[in-house]
């Protein structure tokens, strides 16, 4: 993981960097916001930014958004300065870390913010052959197309291939082709020169150049507009790209991995995806089966996620009960591994027995029925020092659904140390819904 630290290294933030370095992160230092932005524009990417609260956090985050740098930001400050923490979170920081730093807190935040999963559980026969093939082709520079339903672990497989390749020490750069507007995707991929278009305030290195010497993942490549597909084809064939507004081509040395949750051959037949580009990408094809077709992997995956979120939430690790395992195996898992992960996150918060019981497993369609249970479980398992606000279901009697919902959301957010993504996952709602709810509470002053 690449960590960028912004601020003076004379103080405690230097110690935070040393801890991160000891935990396997590569650390880069910038004196101030302008130097940091310059480094990012020049291709010195980061997976996480840790910024001194003395810097202009709000300005930095606003500039990141304006220039479309999608990087989580963590603010740091001396002591447990509540006003500064609130100010940083309101500015858009994912977390606030009090200094001097605690090693375990730094490690937890690094893992929680980046969520870089590389564990590969593949004991089911449906997966063993795929992993064997991945092992064989990983050392080469062959382009790989990974297909499968949403949530089957295509990015995890991409990282697995990168980590097994001769480029493992190089960068692994990912871009979601479906999440970026068509008119901006070309700039994200190939970069641009200053003044190339309105808003191009400085030269910006694209993902192709940022991935130089490593691996570039084109996530959901089938969503790319046909006009841009032609430019992508040239970049793949010749390993040369043109920055928007640039005067000379730029050579790149990358290994390309692409993913799609669509039937690519059908997209080609329908004229939605170029046939020549499809063949360039489909040198090696790995099709990941849905979770319902790899049943023997469900219990080991569930246990891995249970252990992971037990550690994240500071609760004792528990084994899965036989009843819970059978309940998981019987489910259809339309959201695949991603749905299973969120289910186990909720389960370790709800579980009240020595083993994770079947009653703690909330599957699709059970969210409404389990509202009181979830609220009770979340508030009972808040971090040390937090006040438990509900000790039994009677706490919800004579209260409106809106009031119970608000407490559930705010308590879960507090439990996650302000991390909205984690809170949304636990609650089983989208991050957009969570943002709208928090905005509503802020506007009403409740």
pLDDT in tens, 158-204: 999 999 999 998 999 999 998 888 888 999 999 999 988 887 888 88
Residue 100, preceding peptide bond in cis (omega within 30° of 0): yes
Are 189 and 324 found together in one domain? no
Domain stop point among 289, 322, 355? 289
Q: Does 30 score more than 60 pLDDT?
A: yes
Q: Does 385 score more than 50 pLDDT?
A: no
- Give me the CATH number covering residue 336: 1.10.8.60
Of 6-20, 200-214, 388-402, where does mean pLDDT reach its minimum? 388-402
Residue 242 lies in a domain: yes
The total number of structural domains in the chain stands at 3
**What share of the chain has pLDDT > 90, as a percent?**
46
Nearest 10 degrees: CA dihedral of 23, 29, 32, 34? -110
Are 165 and 209 found together in one domain? yes
Residue 51 lies in a domain: yes
The CA–CA distances, whole Å, from 290 to 149, 158, 160 equal 6, 17, 18
**What share of the chain has pLDDT > 70, as a percent?**
84
Give me 370's structure tokens: 């389990």
Are 75 and 148 found together in one domain? no
pLDDT of the residue at 276:
96
pLDDT of the residue at 390:
40
Among 69-83, 195-209, 371-385, the range of highest mean pLDDT: 195-209
Residue 119 lies in a domain: no
Are 297 and 281 found together in one domain? no
Q: Does 256 score more than 90 pLDDT?
A: yes
Domain holding 264, by residue range, is 125-289
- Give me the CATH number covering residue 51: 3.40.50.2300
Domain stop point among 263, 289, 315? 289
The CA–CA distances, whole Å, from 226 to 139, 180, 188, 231, 272 equal 31, 15, 16, 9, 7
Distance in angstroms (rounded) separating the CA atoms of residues 65 and 236: 29
Q: Based on the number of CB atoms within 10 Å of its own CB, is 238 exposed (0-12), middle (13-18) or buried (19 or more)?
A: exposed
pLDDT of the residue at 368:
39
Q: Does 374 score more than 50 pLDDT?
A: no
Q: Exposure pattern of 346-365 as b/e (b: 16+ CB <10 Å)?
A: bbbbbbeeeebbbbbbbeee
Ramachandran bin of 26, using left for φ above 0, alpha for ψ from -120 to 50, beta for the remaining angles: beta
**What's the average model confidence in pLDDT over 146-150?**
95
Are 327 and 436 found together in one domain? yes
Could you tell me the end-to-end alpha-carbon distance of the chain, in angstroms, rounded to an integer?
39
Domain stop point among 289, 310, 332? 289
Query: What is the number of alpha carbons within 13 Å of residue 252 lying toward its C-beta?
Result: 31
Distance in angstroms (rounded) separating the CA atoms of residues 444 and 446: 5
Residue 330 lies in a domain: yes
Are 51 and 129 found together in one domain? no
Query: What is the number of alpha carbons within 13 Å of residue 284 lying toward its C-beta?
Result: 21
Mean pLDDT (the chain) is 83
Whole-structure pTM value: 0.70
Are 149 and 266 found together in one domain? yes
Decide the pairing of beta strands 73-78 and 48-52.
parallel
Are 12 and 71 found together in one domain? yes
**What's the average model confidence in pLDDT over 131-160?**
95
**What's the average model confidence in pLDDT over 283-298?**
96
Nearest 10 degrees: CA dihedral of 98, 104, 107, 112? -80
Are 10 and 151 found together in one domain? no
Q: In three state form, how does the secondary structure of the chain look?
A: CEEEEECCCCCHHHHHHHHHHHCCCEEEEECCHHHHHHHHHCCCCCCEEEEECCCCHHHHHHHHHHCCCCCCEEEEEECCCHHHHHHHHHHCCCEEEEECCCHHHHHHHHHHHHCCCCCCCCCCHHHHHHHHHHHHHCCCCCCEEEECCCCCCHHHHHHHHHHCCCCCCCCEEEEECCCCCHHHHHHHHHCECCCCCCCCCCCECCHHHHCCCCEEEEECHHHCCHHHHHHHHHHHHHCEECCECCCCCEECCCEEEEEECCCHHHHHHCCCCCHHHHHHHCCEEEECCCHHHCHHHHHHHHHHHHHHHHHHHCCCCCCECHHHHHHHHCCCCCCHHHHHHHHHHHHHHHCCCCCECHHHCCCCCCCCCCHHHHHHHHHHCCCCCCCCCCCCHHHHCCCCHHHHHHHHHHHHHHHCCCCHHHHHHHHCCCHHHHHHHHHHHHHHCC
Residue with the bigger pLDDT between 399 and 267: it is 267
Distance in angstroms (rounded) separating the CA atoms of residues 47 and 58: 19
Give me 292's structure tokens: 């319902």
Are 281 and 153 found together in one domain? yes
Are 330 and 408 found together in one domain? yes
Residue 133 lies in a domain: yes
- Give me the CATH number covering residue 180: 3.40.50.300
Residue 120 lies in a domain: no
Of 39-43, 86-90, 121-125, 315-319, where does mean pLDDT reach its minimum? 86-90
Are 87 and 200 found together in one domain? no
């Amino acid at each position: 993981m690449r960590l960028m630290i912004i601020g003076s290294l004379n103080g405690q933030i230097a110690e935070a960097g040393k801890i991160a370095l000891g935990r396997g992160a590569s650390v880069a230092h910038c004196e101030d916001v302008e130097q940091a932005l310059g480094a990012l524009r020049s291709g010195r990417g980061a997976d996480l930014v840790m910024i001194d609260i003395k810097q202009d956090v709000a300005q930095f985050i606003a500039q990141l958004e304006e220039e479309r740098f999608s990087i989580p930001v963590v603010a740091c400050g001396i002591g447990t300065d509540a006003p500064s923490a609130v100010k940083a979170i309101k500015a858009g920081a994912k977390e606030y870390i009090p200094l001097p730093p605690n090693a375990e807190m730094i490690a937890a935040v690094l893992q929680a913010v980046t969520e870089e999963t590389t564990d590969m559980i593949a004991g089911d026969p449906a997966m063993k052959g795929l992993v064997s093939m991945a092992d064989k082709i990983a050392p080469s520079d062959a382009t790989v197309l990974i297909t499968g339903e949403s949530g089957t672990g295509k990015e995890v497989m991409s990282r697995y291939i990168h980590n097994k390749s001769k480029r493992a020490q190089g960068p692994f750069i990912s871009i979601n082709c479906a999440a970026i507007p068509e008119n901006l995707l070309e700039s994200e991929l190939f970069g641009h020169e200053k003044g190339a278009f309105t808003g191009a305030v400085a030269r910006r290195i694209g993902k192709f150049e940022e991935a130089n010497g490593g691996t570039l993942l084109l996530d959901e490549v089938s969503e790319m507009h046909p006009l841009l597909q032609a430019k992508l084809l040239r970049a793949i064939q010749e390993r040369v790209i043109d920055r928007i507004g640039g005067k000379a081509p730029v050579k790149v040395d990358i290994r390309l991995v692409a993913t799609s949750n669509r039937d690519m051959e059908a997209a080609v037949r329908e004229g939605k995806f170029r046939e020549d580009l499809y063949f360039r990408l489909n040198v090696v094809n790995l099709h990941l089966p849905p979770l319902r077709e790899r049943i023997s992997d469900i219990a080991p995956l569930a246990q891995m996620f249970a252990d992971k979120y037990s550690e994240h939430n500071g609760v004792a690790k528990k084994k899965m009960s036989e009843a819970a395992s059978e309940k998981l195996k019987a489910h259809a898992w339309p959201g695949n591994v991603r749905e299973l992960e969120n289910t186990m996150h909720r389960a370790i918060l709800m579980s009240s027995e020595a083993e994770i019981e079947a009653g703690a497993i909330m599957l699709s369609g059970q969210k409404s029925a389990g509202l009181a249970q979830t609220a009770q479980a979340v508030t009972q398992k808040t971090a040390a020092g937090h006040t438990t606000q509900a000790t039994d279901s009677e706490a919800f009697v004579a209260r409106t659904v809106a009031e119970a919902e608000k407490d559930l959301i705010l308590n879960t957010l507090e439990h996650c140390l302000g991390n909205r993504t984690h809170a949304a996952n636990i609650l089983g709602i989208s991050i957009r819904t969570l943002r709208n709810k928090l905005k509503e509470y802020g506007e009403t002053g409740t």
